[in-house]
Structure 1
Amino acid sequence: MNLQEVRKTAFKWRGGLWTALYLIILFLAKPTYESIIWGIIFVAAGQAIRFWAAGSIGLYRGVEVKASKLTTWGPYAFVRNPLYLGNGLIGLGWAIMAGGLSLWVFLVSFYIIYCLLIIPYEEGFLQSKFGNEYLSYKDRTGALIVKRWPKMEEIKGPFSREVLVKSERHSLRVTIVGSLLIISRLWW
Structure 2
Amino acid sequence: MHTASSGIPHFRRPLSGLPSLYTGILRGTFYEILGIILVAVGWPLSIWSVYVQYAEGKGTPVPSAPTRKLITSGPYKYCRNPMALGTLLLYLGFAFILKLASMVFLTLLFFIFLFLFIKLWEEKELEARFGEEYRKYKRRTPFLIPRIWLRTKDHDGE
Shift of the 94–119 alpha-carbon distance from structure 1 to 2, 3 Å rule, reads: farther
Q: Provide structure 2 residue ranges, at least 5 long, that are not aligned to the other structure.
A: 1-20
Q: Provide structure 1 residue ranges, at least 5 long, that are not aligned to the other structure.
A: 1-26, 155-188
Which protein shows a greater Rg? 2
Maintained 8 Å contact 2:79/2:143? yes
Deviation at 1:50, TM superposition (A): 1.5
Q: Equivalents in 2 of 1:60, 1:67: separation in Å?
A: 6
Superposed counterparts of 1:7-86, under 5 Å = 28=22, 34=29, 35-58=31-54, 59-64=59-64, 66-86=66-86
Percent identical among aligned pairs is 32
Shift of the 124–29 alpha-carbon distance from structure 1 to 2, 3 Å rule, reads: farther
Q: Equivalents in 2 of 1:45, 1:137: separation in Å?
A: 24
Task: Supply the AA of the counterpart residue of 2:103.
Answer: S
TM-score when normalising by structure 2: 0.67
Size of the alignment, in residue pairs? 127
Instruction: Tell me the equivalent position of 2:104.
Output: 103
- Alpha carbon RMSD of aligned pairs, Å? 2.8
TM-score when normalising by structure 1: 0.57
Larger RCO (alpha carbons 8 Å, 6+ apart): 1
Q: Equivalents in 1 of 2:148, 2:103: separation in Å?
A: 31
Q: Note the alpha carbon deviations across 1:62-110, whole angstroms, 9 max, x for none.
A: 3536220000001100001111111011111122223334323322331
Instruction: Tell me the equivalent position of 2:13.
Output: none
